[in-house]
Structure 1
């Protein structure tokens, strides 16, 4: 089992953020609040990832305050006070001691002290990540002056070895789920049955949840990039495109694969699939330190056009924009589309960026996307998801 992030990890991240903040400033980051679904049920809660990144805590309503005054750093955490009545229905709130053990924060108070505490912050430069409700900012005299996101983006883009270990495990869980899809996929089943097989597998092996809503889109709907219905019956001699991932201890994987529903690609399907696969193999070596993702995007268009034309499936009156209409990749981490101020980022060691070329032909009822997760290193790109099958021969043999 992969170790969870250490208390030292969260302490180091807070210190790194302090180094980026100017003197006489404060930042307030909220965990987020639960949203009521009915009188006695809330929607599933997922914590604000910036709060998680700096504390390791996942409970709702927590507030982290970092203040930097006269060269001195002050960290204060506010959490919910125990409520015996509510805890009978919904479970215990985290204790001050448990919050300290996880986060390494010494000054932990209950939320009812937050208002009076904020009076000491008036007049400081205020940084936020848009998680503090407007009424609180008004009530406590806090005015939005600076966005915290550029600073957190700079930090979160580069992963530590501890983070990479969790991401590798999330990818491994995704691999296990995809293998089960390949073992069970067949015409006549519904798309959601393949989705259920994947999600049952990753959850039974320790995933917290899916990294995002699973996409399982077959046949002529494959060119729909964010198809989420997953309700169609899969038809013989068509393909199904999966975009899926596992979340493990907060960290995500993001993988796309396109499989033949009956276990064998038709001639045209194979031609289109191998065009995308060859383009991906040629694009990945461009994921080098110092390369700008804008240049990788242009290279992906060039290669997909080159290999697509070679299939003789393209309409000569159309352009690559008719067959490929999304970005080649994005940062991956605590969010599937991880915090990144500029998608045209210049690559640095420790970044994890997806590589996901695709070709979509609505008139032929086909769509192919192949996506892997790439670690940027000084020695060149490392495909973290290399174990997940993607060659035609291996896919057909596994099915």
Structure 2
């Protein structure tokens, strides 16, 4: 009888695991706890950090977008619900009952009515048992605790974009939590610095002197997109400076201005800087999830290569990729999917995907699955009819060589800009050899972007963008884009090629995590010749 009962219990446990409706391979509570401890260790004495969950964002009328957690908040807590705030103290605090603590997670409270409509909530007890917080409270307690932020030497928070609304559903939404913090801390009294301006100051402070002119031109070209650049006196003078000596002088002034201590204990730079330092190096647990997201995305590219037909629409191609993601259990796409055929591929962030037939053009497919919060970013460009034309092949092989050089430069100790420099050399020579540009040094817009960025919880993950370190994961994504009407032979018009892979920086050299998706002309054509499981998937006509 005892053995029988034991077997029954085992069977029930097995069934519970197999038929569980919730994924079990998220990061562990221990991971997030360790991340909080790491941040706390970076904080000076008598300081406090306040981090807010993302708000729910409205799509239209009474329909909201699918909620997505703020990556920094998730990284520190593992909490995947809205209307929450995390408070981390550098030193032990004592409550009225004499209990000590150094962190508090305020969450949205349990509510049977709302949970029937919107889904289960962890609540205070769930935050304790599942996320491992010793102290958790309902969100409305944040205001009632009346934390005296004025007593701390430093109060760390991120700049608020104020892109949330008051739905008046309760008094503990992110809208209320943020406003309560502003009132209690005096945040509302400080003068905000445009985050893009702060980013430029930091970038110029860290750029090597030989690159000052190149950076100045880039900033100048973004005056229209970011008016704050032109309105900032130092940035304006730097971008329009006529020589490097003046740029060096302005660089020093920016370093001094950025280091000037504000007349407040609120610091809106510390958190973003320290979180970037932490997030740019991936742990073993993170690499496991990120690698899975990347492999899912690579399989999506493979299946699309086999399924591609000239009669397909860009939207259908997008759908096949995203179908593969869902089959593997990926919750979302990491960013809006880009599928651009022909001239549409020349639009770097083309997301309309509304061309009804891709015909015989090249199709640029830049898509990435998000798996358990971690986002891939993989691009392949393939001929819709399965065979590269001579012109398509010529452009493609230049980009492929550029990418190979960029990947080879992605080594521990190398600088973040080096893959781009290597790629640019190859692309300029290749375009010159084809007669598309008149000299190897000609300024052109056929390769208008950099090659690399971090990936992780964000598709453009934060980082210091300095020297490469072990266990960083970056993209290497050179491209050539020749829009219709370009100043070259018409036979090149409408060809756009980008090849993007996700590269793990290791002490033994770069490792291509997305190499499963074919990259060479020969391998792509061979894959496209294979039968697709979707070939016989024919829907009835609705005409």
CA contact (8 A) 1:279 1:307 kept: no
Asked if the contact 1:250–1:334 (Cα under 8 Å) also holds between the matched residues in 2, the reply is yes
Structure ranking higher on relative contact order (CA contacts 8 Å, 6+ apart) = 1
Residue in structure 1 matched with residue 508 of structure 2 by the alignment = 379
Is this contact kept in 2: 1:65–1:76, CA < 8 A? yes
Please state whether the residue corresponding to 2:379 is helix, strand or coil: strand
**Structure 2 partner of 1:44:** 66
Number of the residue aligned with 2:222? none
Aligned 8 A contact 1:57 1:102 in 2: no
SS in 1 for 2:459: coil
Q: Distance in 1 between matches of 2:346 and 2:386?
A: 21
Q: In structure 2, the residue corresponding to 1:76 is in which secondary structure?
A: strand
- State the Cα RMSD in Å: 2.0
| Pair member with larger Rg | 2
Q: Is the 8 A contact 2:405 2:419 kept in 1?
A: no
Aligned to 1:119: 147
Q: CA deviation at 1:142?
A: 4.3
Alignment partner, residue 473 of structure 2? 352
Q: Separation in 2 of the partners of 1:118 and 1:296? A: 50
Q: Is the 8 A contact 2:314 2:358 kept in 1?
A: no
Aligned equivalents of 2:75, 2:389: Cα separation in 1: 46
Q: Secondary structure at the match of 1:347?
A: coil
The answer (yes or no) to whether the contact 1:330–1:353 under 8 Å persists in 2 is yes
Whether 1:17 and 2:39 are equivalent positions in the alignment is: yes
Pick which of 156-165 and 71-80 moved more: 71-80
1:296 aligned residue (404, 419, 426):
419
Once residues 75 and 393 of structure 2 are traced to their aligned partners in structure 1, the CA distance between those partners, rounded to angstroms, is: 42
Q: Shift of residue 227 of structure 1?
A: 0.7
1:135 aligns to 2:179 (yes or no): yes
Is the partner of 1:222 in helix, strand or coil?
helix
1:355-395 CA-to-partner distances (Å, cap 9, x unmatched) read 00111111311010000011111111111111111111111
Which residue does the alignment assign to 1:195? 318
What residue number does 1:250 align with?
Answer: 373
What secondary structure does 2:366 align onto?
Answer: strand
Q: Distance in 2 between matches of 1:89 and 1:58?
A: 17
Q: What is the CA-CA distance between 1:180 and the residue it aligns to?
A: 1.8
CA contact (8 A) 1:215 1:243 kept: yes
| Equivalent residue number for residue 341 of structure 2 | 218
Q: Which runs of 4+ in 1 moved over 4 A?
A: 70-73, 131-134
CA distance in 2, matches of 1:101, 1:319: 62
SS in 2 for 1:10: helix
Task: Name 1:315's counterpart in structure 2.
Answer: 437
Pair 128,18 (structure 1): closer, same or farther in 2 beyond 3 Å = same
Q: Decide whether the 8 Å contact of 2:337 with 2:367 is kept in 1.
A: yes
1:368 to 497, 503, 506: 497
Give the alignment partner of residue 145 of structure 1, picking from 254, 262, 267.
Answer: 267
- Taking the aligned partners of 1:216 and 1:378, their CA distance within structure 2 comes to 35
Give me the whole-angstrom Cα distance separating, in 2, the residues matched to 1:247 and 1:272: 30
**Following the alignment from structure 2 to structure 1, what is the Cα–Cα distance between the partners of residues 24 and 294?**
13
How far did residue 77 of structure 1 move? 0.3
Per mean C-alpha deviation after superposition, the further-off stretch among 34-43 and 121-130 is: 34-43
Larger strand fraction of residues: 1
Structure 2 CA distance for aligned equivalents of residues 205 and 226 of structure 1: 26
Matches of 1:244 and 1:390, distance apart in 2: 15
Conserved in 2, the CA contact under 8 Å of 1:329 and 1:353?
yes
The aligned runs of 1:62-101 (5 Å cut-off) are 62-69=84-91, 74-101=102-129
Alpha-carbon deviation of 1:320? Answer: 5.4
User: Aligned equivalents of 1:46 and 1:248: distance in 2?
Assistant: 13
Shift of residue 118, structure 1, vs aligned partner: 3.8
- Aligned mates of 1:30, 1:89 — CA distance in 2: 24
TM-superposition CA deviations, 1:184-222 (whole Å, max 9, x none): 111122100000011011112110111110000011121
Is contact 1:286–1:296 with CA below 8 Å preserved after alignment? yes
